Amino acid sequence: MNKGLFLDRDGVINHDPGDYTYSLEEFHILPTVIEGLKLAQDKGYKIILITNQGGIAKGLYAESEVHRIHDFFKSECEKSGVHITDIFFSPYHSELSNSLSRKPQSLMMERAIHRHKIDTASSIMIGDRDRDIECAAKVGVKGIKIPTNSALIDYIRGLE
């Protein structure tokens, strides 16, 4: 079994401007993120992003733009020797439809746990919203809530 580091995206990995990150041009990786992910990887964590992308359902941006952002992020990480194990996103929004994948529901995490043989007892979810922590709790993963746009490495240093 593997231990997983589950991460929310906006406000944890990249700067959250307060609404949506609409395009690659607005996607700014926060300082210390890649360094923090390298440290987590060196500690044996599989790195998995779990992110709501409700702007797709609202018609604010296309799913292709989300893939473009994620491809860029993975590429930037690879330059520093960081492998992103997987990225799961929910294109739904609770104002328009219900979905078991949208956090605080846990389907994205359940899929990641199954696909990557993750040991939930030794895994962590880091997010900046209550829904991230609620989602993690539903699958038995410890959640750590951090302030939006804070230094991720400060929280990764404390991981076993």
Q: What residues contact residue 18 under an 8 Å CB cut-off, 6+ apart?
A: none
Catalytic residue among 8, 16, 128, 132: 8
Q: Is 119 a catalytic residue?
A: no
Longest dimension (CA), the chain: 41
Catalytic residue among 10, 16, 128, 132: 10
Residue 66 and residue 53 in contact, taking contact as beta carbons nearer than 8 Å: yes
| Side-chain half-sphere exposure of 133, counting CA atoms within 13 A | 8
Q: What sections of the chain are H helices per DSSP?
A: 33-42, 63-79, 107-116, 130-138, 152-156
Q: Is 128 a catalytic residue?
A: no
- Map residue 11 onto helix, strand or coil: coil
Of residues 159, 153, 155, the one with CA closest to residue 36:
153
Phi, psi (rounded to 5 degrees) for 132:
-65, -45
Which residues are marked as active site? 8, 10
